[in-house]
Structure 1
Amino acid sequence: MTIIKAHIDHIEDLVPLFDGYRLFYKQRTDKEGAHHFLLERFKNKDSIIFLAYIDNKAVGFTQLYPLLSSVSMQPMYLLNDLFIDANYRSQGIGEALINKAKQLCIAENNKGLAIQTAHDNPAQHLYERLGFEKDPDLHFFWTTQ
């Protein structure tokens, strides 16, 4: 397995994985929309994507968004997306991608790495095994207005 920091040249490898990620979250397939969304992330440099390959095939990715903590006055990352092709799960790819994200945080001397996920996401066990803890002090509130 090889993990790379993705660049715009990798967009064609990313689109099917990103579309699969969205399908997992009950969204309709939209490869053109996925291509546009990812292209904007690369052009605007507002996320970091790590891409996992096995035998020259893209099999998983994670996307990190930079955040700032006003309280600690330090940067941090939000691991917002993690997806592994169903044919390649249970091979340590998710763990390797998360560890790559953790290494980036250490290298940049960040406050840490936060993960936002659905309440029923089975990957929560992986997150806990890798040292992540649910924060009992924080709740997310949401509005569309």
Structure 2
Amino acid sequence: MIIIRATIEHLNDLVPLFDGYRIFDRQASDLNSVKEFLKERLTKQDSVIYMAYINDTPVGFTQLYFLFSSVSMKPMYLLNDLYIDSNYRSQNIGTTLINKAKKLCEKKEYKGLLIQTENTNPAQHLYQRLGFVEDTDLTFFG
């Protein structure tokens, strides 16, 4: 397995994974909109996308968005998206992608990595195993 930081050259490999991620999150497939959304992210460089490949096959990705902590006055990343193709799950791909994101935070001396996910997300056990702790002090409104 290799992990790369996606660029516009990886767009066609990323689109089906991202569409699969959206379908997993109960959204309708929309390859054209997905391609435009990802093209904008990659062109504007307003997120960091890591992709996992096994034998030249794209098998998973994570997307990080930039945030700032006003209290610590430091930047941090929000790990907003993590997806592994169902044919490749249980092979430590998610762990490898998350650890790559953690290392990026350490390298840049960011405050840390925040994960936003549904309480029912089956990856909760993965996040906890990797040291993430639910912050019960924060409340969100929508």
Is the structural similarity TM-score above 0.5?
Answer: yes
Q: Which amino acid aligns with 1:6?
A: A
Match of 1:112 in 2: 112
What CA RMSD, in Å, does the superposition of the two structures yield over aligned residues?
Answer: 0.4
Q: Deviations over 1:81-103 (max 9, x none)?
A: 00000000000000000000000
Match of 1:26 in 2: 26
Q: TM-score, normalised by structure 2?
A: 0.99
- After TM superposition, list the pairs within 5 Å mapping 1:4-19 onto structure 2: 4-19=4-19
Match of 1:127 in 2: 127
Identity %: 63
The structural deviation recorded for 1:48 is 0.2
Matched pairs, number:
142
Match of 1:85 in 2: 85
Q: Which amino acid aligns with 2:102?
A: K
What secondary structure sits across from 2:82 in the alignment? strand
Distance 1:105 1:54 in 2: 25
Match of 2:48 in 1: 48
Match of 1:62 in 2: 62
Q: Which amino acid aligns with 1:83?
A: Y
Could you list the runs of 5+ residues in structure 2 that have no partner in the other structure?
A: none
The structural deviation recorded for 1:33 is 0.4
Q: Deviations over 1:46-95 (max 9, x none)?
A: 00000000000000000000000111000000000000000000000000
